[in-house]
A and B are shown apart, each in its own frame.
Chain A
């Protein structure tokens, strides 16, 4: 069975995604790291679907849909930000400062 190793792989990929979000400042790279995390979750869904039925694969389908929508909107936001600040570096984007 590949379930156990698949879940471990999923965990590792997810963590790499998290580490990526933490160490990068480029907004687009951050987005790609988020996609990596989504992929890791997809992997665990597919792996678990071998044991728990095809609902998991349907979830993967939904995750992909949401990811596509999120990528479209997110990249549009980055475009808007870039137009505003001439940069996508997060250190230049601190509107939330208290």
Chain B
């Protein structure tokens, strides 16, 4: 059952993404991107990341994409009569390169973590990037009942300082956005 839902959502995500990058008008593009994000939120639930799914809907699909749409409309860019998509040969090259990336990434997925780490130059598998961001012990699916609790533990223990630093980042971004966007200070 979960797998069928996953594949349905996956097809929706990919289809929305393709439509997002192929629309002439930026407003439908943005809306198709929202659609992709909703599909991803569903997949997050399937992967037992309910908190992230909620964040996805609230922050991304809600706040960030609304900001995009707001700017598009503010600048009055929503036009159907002219396109910003490049010519055929460029698109062909781009698609080929994209396929190359997919092939490379899928090939990477099939490689063991230790082998990849060794190939990247590190001899110690424990030092591989994946293990470094472990943060909490692996828990069985049964322990996911309290989803927020289990993510809160690493966030406020292991990653407390980076978490607090995000507030500085957001403050800086807010100030920067105001400074950049204002005509005159």
Contact = CB atoms under 8 A, between A and B. Distances in A.
Interface of A: 2, 4-20, 22-26, 28-29, 31-33, 35-36, 39, 42-43, 46-62, 64-73, 75-80, 82-83, 88-89
Nearest to A72: B177
B14 A16 contact: yes
Given A4-B109, A64-B55, A76-B181, A47 B47 contact: yes
Given A53-B134, A73-B176, 6 more contacts: A32-B26, A32-B68, A58-B151, A61-B55, A68-B59, A88-B77
Interface string B47-73: 111011001100110011001100110
A92 B18 CA distance: 26
- Which of B6, B21, B135 gathers most chain A CB within 10 Å? B21
B120 interface: no
A77 B20 contact: no
Contacts of A71: 64, 67-68
A56 B49 CA distance: 10
Given A6-B47, A11-B105, A33 B177 contact: no
Given A52-B138, A53-B136, A24 B36 contact: no
Interface centre among A16, A47, A77, A80 (most CB of B within 10 A): A16
B99 interface: yes
Interface in B121-176: 130-131, 133-139, 150-151, 153-155, 158-159, 162-163, 166, 169-170, 172-174, 176
Tell me whether chain A's interface is mostly helix, strand or loop, or mixed.
helix
B166 A15 contact: no
Nearest to B155: A58
11 contacts: A9-B43, A13-B17, A17-B17, A18-B101, A19-B95, A26-B26, A29-B26, A46-B49, A49-B47, A76-B180, A88-B77
B154 A53 contact: yes
B170 A69 contact: yes
B90 interface: yes
B116 to A, nearest CB: 13
Contacts of B72: 28
Contacts of B97: 18-19, 22
A68 B174 CA distance: 10
B119 interface: no
Given A29-B29, A53-B138, A67-B60, A23 B52 contact: no
A73 B59 contact: no
B85 interface: yes
B75 A82 contact: yes
